[in-house]
Structure 1
């Protein structure tokens, strides 16, 4: 096990950052070829800083075979020439730093493209040194893991005619899984992490964590599992421990950079997520809160906050060196796999009534505005996300209410080009040369664009900007303790964030029927108490019960004074 690295509070910047995820190829084109690029992104860094972003998460920008929107990588140590050069990336890191923004990148070494030179070598002969870099069998196992993309793939094992064997792939068959138990593969992982850290990258979002650290096969029917060899620390291959491997990666990253961290995609229930945090210093620092996200949509579909409240009450507390990351929408399908079949059907009926809006039987391929169809609801959702202890994560275009294009296949429907102006503004290239079609109206560029919204103080963009500033103005909120209050009307989520010398009551009305809800807030004692409404700044005497009205999808953030004041709601 890696020796723990001492924790300095100054190095925990990632606990209260505002994250913004984007795909370089769809954000800003600088040279008119129809493909976004790094110079184009550099020109938009001041925009991100103005919005309030403090950490930029870049989706894969590596050379690719173009079978999975950049996640099928052919070279982990380079930049896709369509997007720029390593020099451009270094300049992006410098410019972002000058605007107070750090950069993290996607880390996708759970698999490669089948066009990667490693796999091409592996296919040639059982004696090729690269053969064991992947996982092979003469016959598929009797009970294989199900594919991540049902419908697109029938199995996680595909026969390769040239190799004469089956290879493992949890994702598309064009993405063979790497055998991460093999010492040579683990050394490549270390070298790759080291390269980006030297360039100035501040952390990594690890893709599909449970798949990456459990893909090594150790039974005797598999080849490429390091059978007969040793693990990276000299242990036998069948002693490979994925969490131990993750701890070693964490130690490597921490030794190379005191500020760097690991954000993990672990879409599992809480009890299965927690071990991936490790023992404070040897696991992931951040994990996405998938259970809360999924229960949020069930609560929205019902107009009842109860499912969300139950999820938040059950969420485990985390160590000082750990954090939850909150999101309303990410770059993949809106997965609902942790809901029951009946609950999922409720959300489908509300937000994806057409089968074409769904994908893989578990998710929705629409963005938030087109699902909710009410900007008040959209604003309330982002207020709720920012009001919770944890770190908020935005997906590009969320700040303007950008939509999707269901004519684009699969999950990619939500990865349309950024909408800067009414005519798009992403590129000067004609539509036929653009990397992807724009979102459809009314959530396309004419109805939702940066230029119009930045000049409108009442716009969604300004709303998100105010939320980022309120969140950053009260850093205690990010690591505060969460108390979900009982007694509120069923439509209302009432919670208190309580930190050292600071506390806030947040109220959010999830009602779908246009109901204005009255919430009474009462002190637990008769001592003098005040609440400061943070929007607008208004001081309220809370030494006696007060009635607050929440309009449909209304919300309030109320700072408590004194910070140890206790309140009840009904």
Structure 2
């Protein structure tokens, strides 16, 4: 296979963060672009080569920035466009690409477009949104937050009509069937591409092409907009990518990849849920089922694998009894659950801060077929704050040092955009970057080793994968082949040591690349030992 330069995302390490909670430079209690810029050397040293930034646009912040009032600027609390450009310049110097959220399913109710649309039925902005004077259905199956909203329609007295909103009622949906709206979206993309970004994460992609409440617009036309976005983007920057957030059934996934002409990457929600069920059961079987559910995708496309991100751990692909298994194992208290179908915790507390299990899970993540995503703070084992409302429990400020406010800000604690975790187990006094940078055995230094090793194994990101039989239900093994090279990974989901026999390895020389322990070299018999909650990576030498 010939190496294709523009497939950089196949072997990238993507790091997700919110500017608001990462680093405050001016002491106002809010993270900002100058603060993020000053932290780029830390991310570069960790081995990160791509950042995904959550929304940083002007917003009333009723939904953590996903309710936008201006797509062409930076929230003044976070800095200026000039600060953004300086950030992009420094990121480019350090070899870090930047992708940003494109939130165009909806706007804020305070957006000037909506305010003009509701004020004048003849306004050019009226058809920017979806209206109905008498909607016939509430569409309960399309409500994104069923425990919060009871309909996708909300009556607006000033407009004298109902407007569509799949998410919160303060986020009216844009009318993607309107050519003027589609043209506006392309202009937004063009604006940020000119400022150097390397692509977009498409928020709520299924709702973008849903077509609810639209007349005379075919599904094919709406789905075709994904291709329009791709073509426009590549006309401005040939190596830019589109990453879609699409939590959909396996049979619907081809809508987003097409034949390779639509999205470059898709969040792997299916595998994420089956992985947690396998961890809860300490049984690889359901993980293998999840892998087999994934449809074959075009060679230029890719899965984005993740453990946790900024939202809840959603479990909607699993049955009620399977969800209860995960709740019992990782979120046994009602306050740890959300929307009746998800978990609002970070990984470390879910695993009771068991270092062995945390390492096991991230080792698995970095070897599964696809590109790994790392959420800020995961590299130091940050916890969550269940006293905070909803999803904000996992969106606390980054913990840099054991000094005041964890080194995040010099502001008074009551002025912080989000509280700093200060408990005995996950608080900034104990869990912080500065402390772990000085400790060779820290989780942070383990992650740096993990990332460096993964970057030396492009087979995991680019190759064809194969599940290997181990004969043990607790031990998962798979290999990836690319350009004549093979890498192998073994993960033990149980707390007991395990010996497995893998026919593929018989008579082969195995080079140990990474593991939880310094194991004895392979004896070419195909039998391998893995500790409880252990993991091993090998390069297979055919000679």
TM-score (norm 2): 0.95
Question: Aligned to 2:413, which of 423, 431, 443?
Answer: 431
C-alpha distance after superposition, 1:375-426 (max 9, x if no partner): 1101110000101221100110010000110011001110000000123110
The residue that corresponds to 1:230 in the other structure is none
The residue that corresponds to 2:246 in the other structure is 266
SS for the counterpart of 1:15 is helix
The residue that corresponds to 1:146 in the other structure is 142
Tell me if 1:463 matches 2:459.
Answer: no
How far is 1:477 from its partner? 2.3
Tell me if 1:248 matches 2:224.
Answer: no
C-alpha distance after superposition, 1:215-247 (max 9, x if no partner): 46334xxxxxxxxxxxxxxxx645762221110
Q: Does the Cα contact within 8 Å between 1:389 and 1:477 map onto a contact in 2?
A: yes
Whole-Å separation in 1 of the counterparts to 2:275 and 2:220: 37
C-alpha distance after superposition, 1:169-199 (max 9, x if no partner): 0000000000011111111101100000000
Q: Does the Cα contact within 8 Å between 1:253 and 1:260 map onto a contact in 2?
A: yes
Cα distance change on mapping 1:333 and 1:455 into 2, 3 Å:
same
C-alpha distance after superposition, 1:299-336 (max 9, x if no partner): 11111111111111332332221001110001001101
Aligned pairs for 1:49-60 within 5 A: 49-60=44-55
Aligned pairs for 1:278-289 within 5 A: 278-280=258-260, 282-289=261-268
Question: Aligned to 2:490, which of 507, 527, 532?
Answer: 507
Whole-Å separation in 1 of the counterparts to 2:243 and 2:6: 15
Tell me if 1:518 matches 2:499.
Answer: yes
Q: Does the Cα contact within 8 Å between 2:206 and 2:246 map onto a contact in 1?
A: yes
SS for the counterpart of 2:462 is coil
The residue that corresponds to 1:111 in the other structure is 106
Q: Does the Cα contact within 8 Å between 1:306 and 1:490 map onto a contact in 2?
A: yes
How far is 1:497 from its partner? 1.3
Whole-Å separation in 1 of the counterparts to 2:43 and 2:526: 42
Q: Does the Cα contact within 8 Å between 1:181 and 1:240 map onto a contact in 2?
A: no
How far is 1:520 from its partner? 2.6
C-alpha distance after superposition, 1:65-124 (max 9, x if no partner): 110000000000110011011111111111011111000000001100000000000101
Whole-Å separation in 1 of the counterparts to 2:443 and 2:63: 31
Size of the aligned set, in residue pairs, is: 535
Tell me if 1:447 matches 2:430.
Answer: yes
Whole-Å separation in 2 of the counterparts to 1:148 and 1:314: 24
Which stretch of structure 1 is more off in the superposition, 536-545 or 441-450?
A: 536-545
Whole-Å separation in 2 of the counterparts to 1:440 and 1:560: 46
TM-score (norm 1): 0.91
Tell me if 1:398 matches 2:381.
Answer: no
Q: Does the Cα contact within 8 Å between 1:523 and 1:544 map onto a contact in 2?
A: no
The residue that corresponds to 1:131 in the other structure is 126
Q: Does the Cα contact within 8 Å between 1:488 and 1:494 map onto a contact in 2?
A: no
How far is 1:167 from its partner? 0.4
Whole-Å separation in 2 of the counterparts to 1:543 and 1:114: 65
The residue that corresponds to 2:331 in the other structure is 352
Question: Aligned to 1:198, which of 194, 205, 210?
Answer: 194
How far is 1:35 from its partner? 0.2
Tell me if 1:68 matches 2:51.
Answer: no
The residue that corresponds to 1:172 in the other structure is 168
Whole-Å separation in 1 of the counterparts to 2:128 and 2:520: 63
C-alpha distance after superposition, 1:261-305 (max 9, x if no partner): 10010111222212210111x210000111110011111111111
Tell me if 1:388 matches 2:383.
Answer: no
Q: Does the Cα contact within 8 Å between 2:243 and 2:264 map onto a contact in 1?
A: yes
How far is 1:143 from its partner? 5.2
SS for the counterpart of 2:78 is coil
The residue that corresponds to 1:99 in the other structure is 94
Whole-Å separation in 2 of the counterparts to 1:285 and 1:8: 17
Residue segments in structure 2 that go unaligned for 5+ positions in a row = none
Which stretch of structure 1 is more off in the superposition, 70-79 or 550-559?
A: 550-559
How far is 1:521 from its partner? 3.4
How far is 1:516 from its partner? 1.7
The residue that corresponds to 1:186 in the other structure is 182
Cα distance change on mapping 1:540 and 1:515 into 2, 3 Å:
closer
Question: Aligned to 1:546, which of 527, 530, 541?
Answer: 527
How far is 1:540 from its partner? 3.8
Q: Does the Cα contact within 8 Å between 1:179 and 1:216 map onto a contact in 2?
A: no
Residue segments in structure 1 that go unaligned for 5+ positions in a row = 1-6, 220-235, 564-570
How far is 1:488 from its partner? 3.2
The residue that corresponds to 1:418 in the other structure is 398
The residue that corresponds to 2:306 in the other structure is 327
SS for the counterpart of 1:249 is helix
Q: Does the Cα contact within 8 Å between 2:499 and 2:527 map onto a contact in 1?
A: no
